[in-house]
Amino acid sequence: MDSEDGDVMADPIALRIVQAVKTRARKILRASGYYTDLGNRITLGRHELTAEDMPSLMIFSSVEDSEPKGYPRRENTISIHLEAQDTYCPLSGDDD
């Protein structure tokens, strides 16, 4: 929706939070000292994964609560969920 001066309305706060988490998670790479390249495959929303999709990080949110706080205000509580999946590769080369 556009305002009268032609600017696009700002994204909802929940989307901005999820996008900020995604931006930060993109740094989870072996080149940055992590044991995975999870940051290369980040999706918004939850879905089924196959072995070819790994490593992968899914980020999704849900509204936990919405309370009226005097018209037109509402207090919304959301949960941001991170679901990471990767294959296991022992660092030492054995399973112990």
The position carrying tokens 């929303």 is 45
Q: What is the pLDDT of residue 89?
A: 59
Domain ranges of the chain: 13-85
Contacts of 31 (CB under 8 A, 6+ apart): none
**Tens of pLDDT along 54-89?**
899 999 887 777 777 888 887 878 888 899 988 765
pTM equals 0.65
| d(C-alpha 82, C-alpha 93), whole Å | 29
8 A C-beta contact, residue 22 and residue 44: yes
**Tens of pLDDT along 10-67?**
678 778 888 999 999 999 999 999 989 999 999 988 888 888 888 999 998 877 777 7
Contacts of 61 (CB under 8 A, 6+ apart): 14, 17, 18, 78, 79, 80, 81
Tokens of 6: 């032609």
